[in-house]
Structure 1
Amino acid sequence: MRVLISGAGGLIGSAIGDALRARGDEVGALVRGRAASGLDVAWSPANGDIDVDALVANEYDAIIHLSGESILGRWTEEKRAAILDSRVDGTSLLARTIADLEPAQRPAAFLCASATGFYGSRGDELLTEQVGRGTGFLADVATAWEAAADPARA
């Protein structure tokens, strides 16, 4: 299997990449700037740019999207915008790009990270997917983030 990962250098992305390689899969990374290997794909979510030719040429079976601004640190207005934009812009770019590909060129799977922040702060309440969306900044981010993936469902 051939898999493309955004956030491939992060904690989760590097672990997934290592596990995939260990089982014999080929792994590429979405990278800002110049692609380091033939399996990597250059992109700039903030600018809405992605190397579609490399994406198509590599015939990925799956894309795993994990990248986004860290939520650690003081949540200034600038930080909040970076948290939201980094998730929504990257997800939207990938989802729209996948949707625009010919059906035979699309990966079989597009997996996009989300966050438990979707549920908001609810104390000791038992949370399941049936309880629905919470309130607050992270719930708003997760909702917009998940909606940005919708074009890839087509």
Structure 2
Amino acid sequence: MTNLKKYALVPTAVHHLRDGNDELMYADGPNGQPDESKPMRAHMFGPGTKVYAKAKAAQSNRNMDRYKKKGKSDLTAEDQTNDTAEFLAACTDRLENVEVDELTDKALHMAVYTDLELCFIPAQLDKLLSDTANFTKASPTA
């Protein structure tokens, strides 16, 4: 018999961010040019973690509160952006080589995830989190 836990998801995945042209993103080096030794990456907690479960529950609670308040479940574009940003920020362990106005931690995450000009970043991370294959152990045959 095989222990089913050998198929358990890993807690986090690292995603190398891509720009709007689907090119890998790198932080600038001292010369102002992208430095390939400084990949811009997001370290995300996945569906097999309590962090993710808590973020999903909070998202559901926000939706219920909004429904109770407005009497409808329709999200405005701003509601949707903020809701997605809150969820992603809660699932983010850290952003690596990413800077916005000297912000750190959740303030940095929210600044990135709510900036409509950077909409390609939350889209990538939403996609990453929606596929459990991104949180599986590497196959021994790979």
TM-score, structure 2 as length reference:
0.25
Higher relative contact order, structure no. (Cα contacts within 8 Å, ≥ 6 residues apart): 2
Q: If you compute each CA radius of gyration, which structure gives the higher value, 1 or 2?
A: 2
